[in-house]
Chain A
Amino acid sequence: MADPMRIRAQVAGDKATVRVLMSHEMETGLRRDGAGALIPAWFIQEVSAAHNGKTVLNAQWGPSVAKNPFMQFSVRGAKAGDKITVMWKDNKGDSRTDEATVS
């Protein structure tokens, strides 16, 4: 089970800025271990975000995204107290969903 994400969502004017930190190895599949064997690729493939249950962001990621990725986006019309849900799914089928309240 993956570690939880850290999600911060703050209102600024008519939109909210959402900052997400994800805990993930993000192996490219190109590196080799000490014995020379290829380390299998393991990375987040799908990311989505929802504002009060309505999807506002969909992304497809690849192996070039760094370890422990940071993602930032704005949601127009979000108000304090609204719920922001972020979901990721990796190429091994593992996934994680976390929720934050806009402040």
Chain B
Amino acid sequence: MKTASLCAGLLALAGMALAGPLAAQTKSAADGIAEYRAMLADGNPAELFEARGQELWKTKRGPKNADMSQCDLGKGPGVVKGAFVELPRWFADTQKVQDLESRLLTCMTTLQGIEAKAVTEERFGRGEQRHMEGLVAWISAESRGMKMNLPQSHAQEKLSYEIGKRAFFYRGGTHDFSCASCHSAEGQRIRLQDLPNLTKNPGDGVGFAAWPAYRVSSGELWGMQRRLNDCFRQQRFPYPGYASDVTIALGTYMGVNAKGAASIAPSIKR
């Protein structure tokens, strides 16, 4: 990942030699991972996706040859800053609670005339999904540092939260698993990854406030839809439909619980 100059490399070695004996006694596996993440965060490749998304937002595309500048993410047409930390929310035009990706899907179909199927049936990381990754990276980055603040004033937003809560605690599949099996207690981990408690605010830049994120292991940028898709896979559940109601409800549940947590998205993961 890092190609440091010889000079910097020698400095790092010297630092390690000094800190070595002491650090070995006190450093836990979690500390090691945190250190590794901090090293990577300096050159987070999510930036490359952000740049692509910023460009895509103003690029004329689709059968209607339109850009996304009139897309309403909840704060008025074209307003991007601060939109991410208030999603999912209820939208009057679609009469639905929508998360960032389902809302972008609406804009792509209505403004640009792109077929919904071209997005929802595409494999992650390809075609229109690749465009989606750039857009979510840039849009979330525009709200970096802001606090999660999902609205809960509309009846449908409250309903979405309750459905999300049900889905979160729903046990099933071959392993009798639920989201809550891993994410409803403190100090849990899977292999070496700490698992945030998502039934409450897990803290700044943890859980819902850390996604979208760049996955170093696969070199991909994952939005919340892909993150949830993989959670379903790990539970041995059938894959949820892209931008389906249950994924949005789970987003509402986690997002409302994370109220007040500062967003660091797009972050970097192992």
Residues of A within 8 A of B (CB): 3-4, 6, 19, 21, 23, 59, 61, 65-74
Determine the residue in chain A with the shortest Cβ distance to B2. A70
Partner of A66, one of B4, B51, B219: B219
A21 partner, pick from B47, B216, B219, beta carbons under 8 A:
B47
Residue of A nearest to B50 (CB): A6
Task: Flag B1-45 by CB within 8 Å of A: 1 or 0 each.
Answer: 111110110000000000000000000000000000000001101
Inter-subunit contact B48/A23 (CB<8 Å): yes
Q: Are A69 and B42 in contact (CB under 8 A)?
A: no
B residues less than 8 Å from A69 (CB atoms): 1, 3
**Nearest CB in chain A to that of B3: its residue:** A71
Instruction: List residues of chain A with CB within 8 A of the CB of B47.
Output: 6, 21
Contact of A70 among B5, B43, B52 (CB under 8 A): B43
- CB contacts (< 8 Å) of B43 on chain A: these are 19, 21, 70, 72
Q: A66-B219, A72-B43 are in contact. Are A21 and B5 (CB under 8 A)?
A: no
Bin chain B's interface residue count. 10 to 19
CA gap between A70 and B8 in the complex, in Å: 14
A-B contact count (CB 8 A): 49
Interface centre among B5, B52, B216, by most A CB within 10 Å?
B5
- The distance in angstroms between the C-alpha atoms of A65 and B4, with both chains bound, is 12
Residues of B within 8 A of A74 (CB): 5, 7-8
CB of A45 to closest CB in B, whole Å: 14
Least Cβ–Cβ distance between A20 and chain B, in angstroms: 8
Q: How far is the CB of B15 from chain A (nearest CB, A)?
A: 16
Q: Is the CB of A6 within 8 A of B5?
A: no
User: What residue of chain A has the Cβ atom nearest to residue B6's Cβ?
Assistant: A73
Q: Once bound together, how far apart are the Cα atoms of A79 and B5, in whole Å? A: 19
For B197-231 the 0/1 string (1 means CB < 8 A from A) is: 00000000000000000001001000000000000
